[in-house]
Amino acid sequence: MADDLILRSKRPLSDPERRLLAPIHSERHVKVICIGAGASGLLLAYKLQKHFNNYSLTIYEKNSEVSGTWFENRYPGYDKIDVDSSTNALTSF
């Protein structure tokens, strides 16, 4: 009921009230910098693309390819396996 009173009043909205009532996509342009193009960096790029409109994203990666740890670490016999590392550890003994 208090929310109805705030919405019906003729007084100008304060900044916090305006932000709560406005959709997230109407906010100012945001510059996002991501360090690393591994799983987390790629997920960040995907989520930003899916849920936001007014942003610019720059991803910095030290390697020549994306995929982070999976690109850097090569294990003999594990070239074609993409399973949980705890499963790899248990089956190695």
Q: What is the pLDDT of residues 22-73, one digit of tens each?
A: 776 566 788 999 999 988 999 999 999 998 888 999 999 998 888 877 777 7
> Domain-by-domain residue ranges, the chain?
43-74
Distances (CA, A) of 72 to 41, 42, 66: 15, 16, 10
Q: Are 54 and 28 in contact (CB under 8 A)?
A: yes
Rg (CA), the chain: 23
Which pLDDT value is given to residue 79? 58
Which pLDDT value is given to residue 86? 57
Q: Are 36 and 66 in contact (CB under 8 A)?
A: no
Which pLDDT value is given to residue 44? 94
